[in-house]
Amino acid sequence: MLTSEFLPFEFGPLRLRRLPSVPVLALALLPTLFAEPTAGATIASWVELVGPRSEASVRVVTDSATCPVLMADGQQLRMQLRAEPGPLFSGGMDTKAPEFDVRTCEVTSPEGKTVLLDGKALPLPGHDLQRVVVFGDTGCRIKLKKHGDYDTQDCKNGWPYAKIALRAAATNPDLVIHVGDYVYREVPCPSGNTDCSNSPYGYGWEAWNADFFEPSAPLLAVAPWIMVRGNHETCDRAGDGWFRFLDHAEPPNKCEKFRPSFIASVGDLGFLILDSAEAADPKTVDVDDDDDEDDQAGSEDLIGTLRSKYKEAGDSIPPHTWLLTHRPFNAVRVHKGQEVVDNGVLQEAIGRTLPPSVRMIMSGHIHMFEALSFGDADPPRPPQLVVGTGGDELGKKPEKPEAINGAQVTDASILKRFGYMVWDRGGMKWKGSLFDEDGEQIAHCKLTERSLTCKKEH
């Protein structure tokens, strides 16, 4: 159990912090923590890292007719409108049209100032990072499969994301990384199903709030985030919400399949964010689809697109960088009883050109934990970390692979558990701790340069 005595780091000097325990009562009362907002209220607020010099965007969702005014060291800081109520784009999947009756506001936070919203300080980035929380694939699944069957989770009692977010907030991180896939309540709960009855659905505000903003509130309040776009945020799914709420840049005039790559950084640690939401490998089936992917672009076209998007940020990669992208370059999963590799087209397009400064690739998409290293691969290959453990139903566990995309796997750890990961820094070394939804540590990892090793707790 994560308690105030938890001090998870063992390398060298570090800012040590006593972490607050999470009372059992608080977990029991979790549904009451998110009261209905009053008219004209701030419904959600958060801070995103969006640039290479710790640039941060303050975001607010409000049902007021105007954007709120922040206070920055006693001076008014007016927010700008990012998205009005109503859809940004037309189109969508075979479900109800997305409805947004809220406004999204934003402003770039001024450097070196304390910024207040409704009298409370916002969690702006500091000058360095010592603790980073990572997870992804967090929504509660209500899906109609291609053959008419439903795939549903117990969104009332069995979906763990709210608990995970509360536990992760108690670790007092400096940064939170969400590796994509926020909204899973795609269709109405099937008749007679009590696990998801009366749940909102579709891709509008109600589904976004239920799946992400409401349960994320404790964690949004304590640290800035980096948001990665997942395949659930594509243009024919929750793309409207992605662009109005979470995309790092100003919303485009029309929904874009691939967004420009960009660099975010704090201190000397950089993050290369690569949009792979639409980058399903045409040679394999997608983890969320039941049949084939005949509508996918050919491999050569996709490879060219991915290379061009990578090059948009490729010349400015900092000396110590983590590559963040929803679909993994090199991982394994099980589909219809067969083990398949994700993602050969990403590895072919970009993997051979990654500079030594990229120390690790961090992804989601596969709903479990995977840590895979490749030793003396030629050309050298950074380790692959998958933390798709945030709440959506877990996948089938594959066997540890001997090789992936032509490279020998020298160290592999695969776990099928819900949870979140905490990375703590000591110089250029990092220690990772994987916790389950109840705060029990279930694995520990070490990252030095490009060497990643993980072991399951006994």
Domain ranges of the chain: 24-44+121-456
What is the rounded distance in angstroms from the CA atom of residue 287 to the CA atom of residue 289?
A: 6
Element (H, E) at 24: helix 24-28
Q: Which long-range contacts (CB under 8 A, 24 or more apart) does 16-23 make?
A: 17/131, 17/172, 19/170, 19/171, 19/172, 20/170, 20/172, 21/170, 22/166, 22/167, 22/170, 22/439
Task: Print pLDDT tens along the chain (458 aa).
Answer: 444 333 343 433 333 333 444 444 444 444 444 434 334 589 999 999 999 988 999 999 999 999 999 999 999 999 999 999 998 886 544 455 789 999 999 999 998 899 999 999 999 999 889 999 999 999 999 999 877 889 999 999 999 999 999 999 999 999 999 999 999 999 999 999 999 999 999 999 999 999 999 999 999 999 999 999 999 999 999 999 999 999 999 999 999 999 999 999 998 999 999 999 999 988 775 545 543 343 344 688 999 999 999 998 867 899 999 999 999 999 999 987 788 898 999 999 999 999 999 999 999 999 999 999 999 888 899 999 999 999 999 999 999 999 999 999 999 999 999 999 999 999 889 999 999 999 999 999 999 999 999 999 97
Q: How many CA atoms lie within 13 A of 378 on its CB side?
A: 0
**Cβ-Cβ contacts under 8 Å for 259 (sequence gap 6 or more):** 229, 247, 248, 249, 275, 309
Q: Of 238, 243, 251, 286, which is closest to residue 96 (Cα–Cα)?
A: 238
- Give the pLDDT score at 146: 79
- Give the pLDDT score at 7: 38
Element (H, E) at 384: strand 384-387
What is the rounded distance in angstroms from the CA atom of residue 264 to the CA atom of residue 172?
A: 20
What is the rounded distance in angstroms from the CA atom of residue 264 to the CA atom of residue 248?
A: 10
Q: Of 124, 126, 123, 120, which is closest to residue 68 (Cα–Cα)?
A: 120
- Give the pLDDT score at 286: 55
What is the rounded distance in angstroms from the CA atom of residue 185 to the CA atom of residue 348?
A: 33
What fold characterizes domain 24-44+121-456?
Answer: Purple Acid Phosphatase; chain A, domain 2 (3.60.21)
What is the rounded distance in angstroms from the CA atom of residue 18 to the CA atom of residue 15?
A: 10
Does the pTM exceed 0.75?
yes
Concatenated DSSP letters of 290-356: SS--TTSPPHHHHHHHHHHHHHHHHTT--SSEEEE-SS-SSEEEEETTEEEEE-HHHHHHTGGG--T
> How far, rounded to the nearest angstrom, does the alpha carbon of residue 293 sit from its chain's CA centroid?
24
